[in-house]
Structure 1
Amino acid sequence: MNALAAEIAGIIRADGPMPVSRYMALCLGHPRHGYYMTRDPFGQGGDFTTAPEISQMFGELIGLWAAHLWQAMGAPARLRLIELGPGRGTLMADMLRATRIVPGFREAISVHLVETSPALRQRQAAALAGADPVWHDDVASALEGPVILVANEFLDALPLDQFVMTAEGWRERLVGLEENGELAFGLAVGPETALRLAAPAGAVFEQPSVALDIVAQVAGHVAAEGGAALFIDYGSVRSGFGDTLQAMRKHSFVDPLSQPGEADLTVHVDFERMGQAALKAGAALHGPASQHDFLLALGLAQRAQALSLEADVSQRAAISAAFDRLTASGETGMGELFKVLALSYRNLPPLPGFDLHRLPDQG
C-alpha cells in the first residue's frame, strides 16, 4: 500500500466509505501525492499520449480555428485565449505559432491557463516563453470579457459520482475497505431516493456534476460576454448507462484502486448532457462532431500534404502515421472515440469544423 492509499484508508476508517468523486479528487489532486501534482504524465515516457503530442497539425488547426472565430467576432481589440488543463503547453504553443499569419490576432489576445499542477506549470512556462501566460487555479478566475476557450482531454479527468441499480433501487458506489485493509468498491447501505431513472439491475449511472457545472459556467459566460469554447474529449454522443471509470499507467489499463496517485484516472464524457447544460445556460451549441470529421473539415489532409512536401522520407512517414492516428475510425480509434463540442455566443455565424468550412491554408 503506497502513501496515498494509506491516507485514504485512514480517512475511510475515520469517516466511512467515500464517494467515487472524492476518491478521484484525492488520487488526481492531492497536494503531496496527487497524480497531476507530482509528475509530467504525457508522451512515450509517461502514461498516455494526447493529440497535441502526436502532431503539431492538431494544435495548428485549433489555433486557426480560434483566429477565424476572433475575426467572426469582429476582431475585438482585447480577447482572452484560455486553455483548461494545458498539459505541457504543446497545444497552446502550436496554436500561437500557427496564428502568426493572422494580422492583429496575436496583438489582441492574452493567454490564460487553468492549471493546478506546479510540475506542469513549469513545463508550460518553458513551452510558452515569450507568450506571457497568466495562470489560474480555477475556471471562474480565467473568465473575463470576450473569450475563446479550448479544453482538450480536460472534462474526462474531472471527478464524478456513480450509482448502481439494485433490487432496492439506486445505491451509490463507494470506496471502502476489505477486511484485510485493502481498498475496495462497495455500495451505500440505503437507496438514493432522488434518482428516478428506470434501468435494469446492475446498470451504472454516472453523475458528472463537476464537469456539468464547468460547462454551464463557461456557456453562461460566452452567452453574456461573447466568444466560444471548444471541448475535445473521448466519450459518447448519447447519454446511457455504464461504468466508464478507468486507470492508465505506462500506456496500459490498471485497476483504479491498485496504486492511488500513480495512475491517471479518467471517465468517458457524456456529451449529450454537456450540451444540455450549455443550452440551459444560454449558449448556442455546435456538434458534437467526431474528431475525424472535425479535423478533416478544418483541413487536416491538406495540412499534412503541405508538410510532407517539405519533409524527408522518415518525416513523411511520421506525418502519415500521425494523420492516421488522429483520424482513426472504429470504437477505439481517436477519430471516432473523441468528440468535439463547441459553445458560443448566439449571434456568431456557423463555426468552422461543424459546417464543413475549411480554414485558410498555412502554406
Structure 2
Amino acid sequence: MTASATPVRLDRFMARANAAYYSSRDPFADFITAPEISQMFGELLGAWVAVTWQGMGAPTPFVLAEAGPGRGTLMADALRLLARVAPACYAAARVHMVETSPRLRDAQATALAPHADAVTPAWCGAVADLPPGPMILLANEFLDALPIRQFVRTAQGWDERSVVGEVFVTAPATDLPVGGPLATRDVPEGEVLETCEGALVIARQLGRRLAQGQGAALFIDYGYDGPGWGDTLQALRDGRPAWPLARPGMADLTAHVDFAALGAAARAGGCATWGSVTQGAFLSALGLFPRAAQLARNQSPEVARQVSEAAQRLVAPDRMGGLFRVMAMTPPGMTELAGFEGCAPIAPSPADMGKGG
C-alpha cells in the first residue's frame, strides 16, 4: 500500500459514491421500485394513510411525509386515492418530501402538479427537519441506500472494513458504535456484521417523536428480520449487478435493512413497533387483489394480464413480496394498525435501550 492509498471507511465511501450517483444520474435507469411497477402500490399506501389518520383521531392538519420519494410517483398515487375516497384526509394533509437531490425534487414537483390546487408540497433534507405535529411518514426503499459500516468478527473482537482503490482492507476497529447489533449479536468468527448508524439515528428520532404525540411511520425495504449477519453490500450499474467498489458514483450502492436493529432503536426512543412482515402479506391485507381485479375489469386481455403480472410481482414470495419487508412505528398504546392484522405491536422496554443504543 502506498502512502497515497489511504483507507476510506466503508460508510464514508458509500456516502460519497451515492451522493455523486444521485446528483448526476437517473437512478431509475438502473432499477425499478414498487410505485413504478403499478399504481396499486401507491394507492394502497394512500388507503393505509387514510385508515391510520382516522385511527389517530383525524387530526387537522397533519404532516404527510415521504422519505426518499424518488420521482414522486408513490405520493402522487396516494394523493389521487385520498382525493377520491378520503377527501377530508386529503384536505388535512400537509405534504412534505424528504429529498436532497435537486434533480429528483424537480421530478417530484412535476408528479405532484395535478394536486397543485389543494396541495403545496414542501421539501426538507432530513427526517429530523420535518415540522412538528401529528405526522404520517412513508418510506419505501429509503433506508437501503444509507451508508453502512462492516465489521468482521475476530477472536480478539472486531475488525472494520475500509476501501482502498477497488478492494476491501481490514484493521482492528478503533471506534465501535455504541449500542446497536454489535453490542448484542452473537456473530461467528470470520463473519461480517453490518450496521447502519444513519438508520438507527432516524429510528430513535422517530421513536422519541411518536412517543410524545400522534403519528405513524411506515418503512418498506428489502432486508431481514432476526439476528442475521453477512455481507449484503451490492451495486447496480446500467441495470446490472456490479462490483460495489468500482467506479464510485457510477452505480447505486445499497445494503439490506436490518429490521431487528431498526425496531430496537425505535423502541429505545420510546415508540411501539409493528412487524416486520413481508410486503406480500402487507399488500394482500390492504386489498391488493380486489384492487387488481377492479383495474382489470372491462379491460383488454393484454391490459388485464399486465395488471395481474404487476400484482404478482409485488406480492409473490419469490419476488418483491418475499424479499421486501414492512415495519411500522406508532405511539405506545395503539392496538390496531391496517396491514398488520394478527401482528401484535412490540412495546418499548428497558431491554431495547442496549439494542437500539
**TM-score, normalising length from structure 2?**
0.89
Deviation at 1:145, TM superposition (A): 0.5
| 1:107 aligned to which of 82, 91, 100 | 91
| Partners of 1:290 and 1:258 in 2: CA distance | 32
Aligned equivalent of 2:166, options 158, 168, 183: 183
**Cα distance in 1 for residues equivalent to 2:187 and 2:328:** 30
Give, in angstroms, the shift of residue 167 of structure 1. 4.7
**C-alpha distance in structure 2 between counterparts of 1:246 and 1:294, whole Å:** 26
Shift of 1:103: 3.3
Q: Measure how far apart 1:348 and its partner are.
A: 3.0
Q: Which residue of 2 aligns with 1:38?
A: 24
Q: Deviations over 1:335-354 (max 9, x none)?
A: 01100000012243410000
Aligned pairs (5 A) from 1:129-278? 129=113, 130=116, 131-176=119-164, 182-188=165-171, 190-192=172-174, 198-278=186-266
Shift of 1:314: 1.6
Q: Where does the alignment leave 5 or more consecutive residues of structure 1 unmatched?
A: 1-8, 177-181, 358-363
How many residues align? The count is 332
1:24 to 2:14 alignment: yes
The reply to whether residue 50 of structure 1 matches residue 33 of structure 2 is yes
Partner of 1:94: 77
Deviations 1:201-247 (A, max 9, x none): 32001121110001111121122121100000000011211011100
Partner of 1:280: 268
Question: What is the aligned partner in structure 1 of residue 49 from structure 2?
Answer: 66
Give the deviation of 1:251 after TM superposition: 2.3
Instruction: Give 1:105's aligned amino acid.
Output: C
Q: Which runs of 4+ in 1 moved over 6 A?
A: none
Q: Distance in 2 between matches of 1:123 and 1:167?
A: 50
Counterpart pick for 2:330 among 344, 347, 351: 344
Residues of 2 paired with 1:193 and 1:147: CA distance? Answer: 35
Cα shift at 1:318: 0.8
Q: Counterparts of 1:346 and 1:224 in 2: how far apart (Å)?
A: 9
Output the TM-score relative to the length of structure 1.
Answer: 0.87
Aligned-pair distance for 1:165?
Answer: 2.2
Which residue pairs with 1:297 in the alignment? 285
Q: Which of residues 321, 335, 346 in structure 2 aligns to 1:335?
A: 321
Q: Distance in 1 between matches of 2:67 and 2:87?
A: 25
Secondary structure at 2:328's aligned position in 1? strand
The structural deviation recorded for 1:37 is 1.2
* 1:142 partner amino acid: L
Please state how far the C-alpha of 1:321 moved relative to its aligned partner: 0.8
1:30-66 per-residue CA deviation (whole Å, 9 max, x = no partner) reads: xxxx111122211xxx000100000000000000100
Partner amino acid, structure 2, of 1:13: S
What is the distance in 2 between the residues matched to 1:261 and 1:311? 43
Q: Secondary structure at the match of 1:296?
A: helix
CA distance in 1, matches of 2:273, 2:7: 39
1:279 is matched by which residue type in structure 2? R
Instruction: Tell me the distance in 2 between the aligned counterparts of 1:85 and 1:22.
Output: 20
Alignment-derived partner of residue 67 in structure 2: 84
Q: Would the aligned equivalents of 1:153 and 1:233 in 2 still touch at CA under 8 Å?
A: yes
> Which residue is 1:310 aligned to?
298
- Cα distance between partner residues in 2 of 1:77 and 1:193: 45
Task: Tell me the distance in 2 between the aligned counterparts of 1:139 and 1:13.
Answer: 37
Contact 1:223/1:346 (<8 A) preserved: yes
Structure 2: state its 5+ residue gaps.
177-181, 344-357
What is the CA–CA distance in structure 1 between the aligned matches of 2:201 and 2:216, rounded to whole Å?
A: 17
Deviation at 1:183, TM superposition (A): 2.8
Indicate how the Cα distance of structure 1 residues 303 and 200 shifts in structure 2: closer, same or farther if over 3 A, else same.
same
**Conserved in 2, the CA contact under 8 Å of 1:304 and 1:319?**
yes
- How far apart, CA to CA, are the structure 1 residues paired with 2:188 and 2:243? 25
The sequence identity of aligned pairs, in percent, is 49
